[in-house]
């Protein structure tokens, strides 16, 4: 420890500074700031954890390891805060584990109330190998939610049967085939839940208002339902198309609701946003770096949260970022925040250690939640998400053809072509202009 300071600003030890206050822990003897009762924060946290978890009564190596993990973090004060915040809910969970009321199994945690504290503790145990890894926690929670939802519909078999098939054979089978490494499962699960919920509401409305079931409904019922309620009703589209396909009913569909306007900021406004992010030294480093990546490439927030550390490559010549098939360079002027952040990634000093996510979340083994990053970019940085994304993509398609851009950034060709058309860029003639195979077929200008 260097608690003293010279007039020059250099830090010096307590002896040189003439500090007489004891700066060693009475328990471990290490030179650390005293936190409570002459003990340092590490010893205080360790004592509290041992009292709660009782790893030696009876001996349980898994609980002993948990104590070691939580006391070895770079910021042990965060563990103390976690134990004593929110009315001591986390401490009570640990106490019940110490009393052997809560077994160290996913089944035991599934039986507990679905709270953030429960899932946070489960994530710590899973991330550190104390609980076995699950293929995808979001998927497991979706299966549990679907079972509860179907149980609620058992009183109406005509609705229950269709929602069960839609939930299990359409959504669940699709989610099981997806990989959480390449897809934002949080978004996919929330979208599936919304479609299933809205499908149930639609079938209930058809039954109550018209006495019809899925086997007898017509397009007139769909049109009436969509026109007489909130915009969330549009989420029955996939369900209606599923019904039409499974029951071979023709003429049923839900039209796509096209946006009346496309939010679009100017390039000057986008550059002002980049300047603001670069100058916001009082803002969290992860928010600044995420904001710069978004402003440069306009990738969806869900994908941005799921970026991994190996997608950034630091070389003597600069930094590249791989979003699609090919790496793209980070402009030299924007490199400093990236280098600073890579040396001090958020949450790496708490329970989310050894994480490969570029933006680790507060929960062990997880990336930052898209909702959290959205709030940070909008609230801390004042970024117009949709306006920036449309302007960024529009600017890129004015310089690069849609096919190459889709490979570089991982966008679909349809999205790139749509923005290219809106920007009046004639990329449809790009192949003919550049490919000698078609050059002689072009009509003469004379």
| Domain's final residue, options 83, 104, 127 | 127
At residue 445, the pLDDT reads: 39
393 touches 264 (CB < 8 A): no
Same domain, 278 and 410: yes
Domain assignment present for residue 400? The answer is: no
> Cα-flanking dihedrals φ and ψ of residue 306, to 5°?
-90, 10
Same domain, 310 and 380: yes
| Domain's final residue, options 246, 278, 307 | 246
Helix (H, G, I), strand (E, B) or coil at 417: helix
pLDDT tens digits along 231-280: 889 899 999 988 888 877 777 888 766 555 567 778 888 888 899 899 88
Cis peptide before 58 (omega within 30 of 0): yes
At residue 390, the pLDDT reads: 82
Same domain, 271 and 411: yes
Same domain, 235 and 167: yes
At residue 434, the pLDDT reads: 42
pLDDT tens digits along 126-150: 888 898 877 667 787 888 889 999 9
Domain assignment present for residue 433? The answer is: no
Instruction: Name residue 5's beta-bridge partners.
Output: 11
Domain assignment present for residue 445? The answer is: no
Question: Would you report the helix, strand and coil content of the chain in percent, each value rounded to 5?
Answer: 55, 5, 35
Same domain, 330 and 198: no
Q: What's the mean pLDDT when you consider all of the chain?
A: 81
At residue 25, the pLDDT reads: 87
126 touches 133 (CB < 8 A): yes
Report the number of distinct structural domains present in the chain.
Answer: 3
Q: Side-chain half-sphere of 11: how many Cα atoms within 13 Å?
A: 3
Low-confidence ranges of the chain (pLDDT < 70): 1-22, 135-136, 178-184, 256-262, 346-350, 397-446
Domain assignment present for residue 440? The answer is: no
Domain assignment present for residue 165? The answer is: yes
Same domain, 123 and 141: no
Same domain, 275 and 158: no
At residue 167, the pLDDT reads: 93
Q: Report pTM.
A: 0.62
CATH number at residue 372: 1.10.443.10
At residue 402, the pLDDT reads: 61
Same domain, 216 and 283: no
Please state, in angstroms and rounded to a whole number, the distance separating the CA atoms of residues 246 and 238.
12
pLDDT tens digits along 275-290: 989 988 888 888 999 9
Domain assignment present for residue 446? The answer is: no
Helix (H, G, I), strand (E, B) or coil at 281: coil
Same domain, 277 and 411: yes
String of b and e for 55-81 (b: at least 16 CB within 10 Å)?
Answer: beeeebeebeebbebbbebeebebbbe
Same domain, 200 and 310: no
If we measure between CA atoms, which residue out of 387, 433, 389, 435 comes closest to residue 411? Answer: 389
Name residues whose C-beta falls within 8 Å of residue 205's C-beta, 6 or more positions apart in sequence: 225
Tokens of 314: 């630091």
Same domain, 330 and 352: yes
Question: Residue 229's domain spans which residues?
Answer: 137-246
Domain assignment present for residue 179? The answer is: yes
Please state, in angstroms and rounded to a whole number, the distance separating the CA atoms of residues 338 and 345.
10
Same domain, 306 and 342: yes
> Running DSSP on this structure, what letter comes out for residue 360?
B
At residue 52, the pLDDT reads: 96
Domain assignment present for residue 262? The answer is: no
Q: Side-chain half-sphere of 47: how many Cα atoms within 13 Å?
A: 11
63 touches 54 (CB < 8 A): yes
At residue 92, the pLDDT reads: 95
């Amino acid at each position: 420890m260097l608690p003293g300071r010279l007039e020059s600003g250099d830090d010096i030890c307590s002896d040189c500074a003439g500090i007489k206050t004891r700066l060693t822990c009475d328990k471990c003897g290490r030179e650390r700031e005293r936190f409570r009762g002459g003990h340092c924060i590490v010893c205080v946290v360790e004592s509290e954890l041992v009292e709660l978890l009782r790893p030696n009564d009876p001996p349980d190596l898994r609980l002993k390891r948990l104590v070691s993990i939580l006391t070895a973090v770079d910021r042990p004060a965060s563990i103390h805060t976690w134990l004593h915040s929110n009315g001591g809910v986390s401490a009570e969970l640990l106490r019940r584990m110490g009393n052997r009321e809560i077994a160290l199994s996913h089944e035991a945690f599934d039986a507990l109330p679905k709270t953030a504290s429960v899932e946070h503790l489960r994530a710590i145990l899973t991330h550190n190998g104390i609980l076995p890894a699950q293929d995808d926690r979001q998927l497991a929670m979706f299966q549990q939610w679907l079972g509860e939802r179907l149980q609620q519909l058992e009183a109406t078999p005509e609705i229950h049967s269709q929602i069960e098939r839609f939930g299990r054979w359409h959504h669940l089978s699709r989610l099981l085939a997806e990989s959480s490494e390449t897809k934002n499962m949080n978004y996919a699960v929330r979208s599936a839940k919304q479609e299933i919920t809205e499908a149930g509401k639609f079938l209930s409305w058809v039954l109550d208002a018209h006495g019809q079931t899925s086997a007898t409904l017509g397009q007139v019922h769909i049109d009436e339902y969509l026109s007489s309620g909130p915009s969330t009703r549009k989420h029955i589209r996939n369900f209606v198309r599923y019904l039409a396909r499974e029951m071979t009913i023709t003429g049923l569909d839900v039209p796509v609701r096209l946006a009346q306007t496309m939010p679009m900021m100017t390039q000057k406004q986008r550059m002002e946003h980049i300047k603001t992010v670069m100058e916001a030294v009082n803002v969290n480093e992860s928010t600044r770096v995420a904001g710069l990546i978004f402003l440069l490439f306009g990738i969806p927030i869900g994908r941005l949260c799921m970026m991994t550390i190996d997608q950034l490559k630091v070389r003597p010549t600069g930094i590249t970022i791989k979003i699609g098939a090919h790496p793209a360079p980070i402009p030299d002027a924007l490199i400093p925040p990236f280098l600073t952040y890579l040396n001090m990634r958020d949450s790496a000093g708490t329970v989310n250690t050894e994480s490969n996510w570029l933006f680790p979340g507060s929960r062990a083994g997880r990336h930052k939640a898209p909702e959290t990053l959205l709030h940070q970019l909008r609230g801390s940085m004042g970024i117009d998400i949709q306006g920036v994304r449309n302007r960024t993509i529009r600017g890129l398609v004015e310089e690069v053809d849609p096919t190459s851009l889709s490979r570089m950034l991982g966008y679909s060709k349809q999205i790139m072509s749509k923005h290219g058309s809106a920007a009046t860029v004639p990329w449809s003639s790009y192949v003919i202009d550049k490919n000698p195979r078609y050059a002689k077929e072009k009509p003469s200008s004379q």
